[in-house]
Amino acid sequence: MDNLCHTLVGAALAQSGLKKRSPLGTATLLIAANLPDLDVISLAWGNTAGLAFRRGWTHGVLALSLSPFLLAAAMVGFDRVGKRGGARFWPLVGLSAIGVGSHPLLDLLNTYGVRWLMPFSNRWYYGDTLFIVDIWVWLLLGAGVLMSMRRERYGGSDWRLPARAALGAATAYTMGMFMVGRLAVAQVRFELNAAGVSTPRVLASPIPVTPIDRDVVVDEGEGYLVGSIRVGGNFVPGSHWPKRAPSTDMDDPAVSMAASTPAAATFLWWARYPSYIVDRRGNTTVVHFIDLRYARSPESSFGTLSVPISSAQLALSRPH
């Protein structure tokens, strides 16, 4: 999820009453809720390098186990340097663990996924439940936090209730979105299987703003079918896309050569539904790799990688 969502979760947890466990409780929860995203520094080495590193080490069980202690120690140290006094290590460890733990749970909910078991396993886990930027979660949590803070400011004894209600409402909304996604997948499978179409994998991705609509990618074995569905309605098929696989590389040496580059190897490892478009212009062939989770065009700002291959490179790759 986006960092505003993580921050609002941290704020709602604080306003639910957890901040009273120790001085600096609110700050600890806000920092902890965003702490795993320290891996954003990997983008300094390029977007493709970021794909290989993000939602891995800092989101895995080892970092999740150690970071609460490190953050709590840092907060106690900050408290002592500022001569504030009162910050307690073990309560802050507990708050840090709650905040840090909330982060990969939220990240699990979208189609990007998270690598829970890093560094012991590089496997991705996907929830396919919420769009990465969900304004309804923002509104629910934001309203709860603001109402809670207002009541607290004016001395209301029940100031914790709005934040707790917001957390409950956001949880209920998420559960509803999970069911919407599963119903969409089941409907697509039913319709395509009835038509004799194989459906080894079906992705029903949440889209912005509209909770009952899903963007669909169907793995048909030899290729992909994309389309859309609204819960309660029928699957609306769109276009067919080729599947990037070793068998397709045999048909086009440009695809094989492009796929063997380090950047493409990383991108294809990360992609769940990798397809491609081959663009031949003059002496250069450009292979556009596309992850159909996020893109349908090489011009998309995310989920694509373009690899140029010169005619000279292709000539060298041909057997003599």
Domain boundary, last residue among 127, 150, 181: 127
Which pLDDT tens digit goes with each residue over 184-243?
999 999 999 999 988 889 999 999 999 999 999 999 988 999 999 998 899 999 999 999
Q: Is 170 inside a domain boundary? A: no
The reported pTM is: 0.93
Predicted pLDDT at 319: 55
Q: Which domain holds residue 289?
A: 246-317
Question: Does residue 123 share a domain with residue 41?
Answer: yes
Per the structure, the count of domains in the chain is 3
- Do both 231 and 285 map to the same domain? no
pLDDT interval class at 254 (50, 70, 90): confident
Instruction: Kindly state whether residues 9 and 65 are assigned to the same domain.
Output: yes
In this predicted structure, the answer to whether residue 164 has a pLDDT above a threshold of 70 is: yes
Same-domain status, 259 and 237: no
Neighbours of 91 (CB within 10 A): 18
Question: Is 23 contained in some domain?
Answer: yes
The pLDDT tens digits for 269-307 are 999 999 999 998 878 899 999 999 999 999 998 999 999
198 and 280 co-located in one domain: no
Q: Does 267 map to a domain? A: yes
Q: Would you state the pLDDT for residue 72?
A: 98
Task: Tell whether the model's pLDDT for residue 316 goes beyond 70.
Answer: no
Examine residue 153 and state whether it is found in any structural domain, yes or no.
no
Residue where a domain stops, chosen among 180, 207, 241: 241
Q: Residue 82's pLDDT is what?
A: 79
Domain boundary among 101, 127, 153: 127
pLDDT confidence of residue 253: 85
User: In this predicted model, which residue has the larger pLDDT, 172 or 254?
Assistant: 172
Q: Is residue 17 part of a domain?
A: yes
Predicted pLDDT at 318: 62
Q: Return mean pLDDT, the chain.
A: 93
Q: Is residue 306 assigned to a domain?
A: yes
Q: Are residues 9 and 123 in the same domain?
A: yes
Task: Write the pLDDT tens digit of every residue in 60-83.
Answer: 999 999 999 999 999 999 999 977
| Residue 105, domain member (yes or no) | yes
Query: 195 and 222 share a domain?
Result: yes
**Per-residue pLDDT at 246:** 60
Residues 83 and 43 reside in one and the same domain:
yes
Q: Give the tens place of pLDDT for each residue, 89-109.
A: 999 999 999 999 999 999 999
* Domain membership flag for residue 155: no
Note the pLDDT tens digit of each residue in 8-48.
999 999 999 999 999 999 999 999 999 999 999 998 888 88
Same domain? For 235 and 286 the reply is no
Q: Is residue 237 located within the same domain as residue 251?
A: no
Identify the pLDDT of residue 313. Answer: 75
299 and 255: one domain? yes
Residues 205 and 286 reside in one and the same domain: no
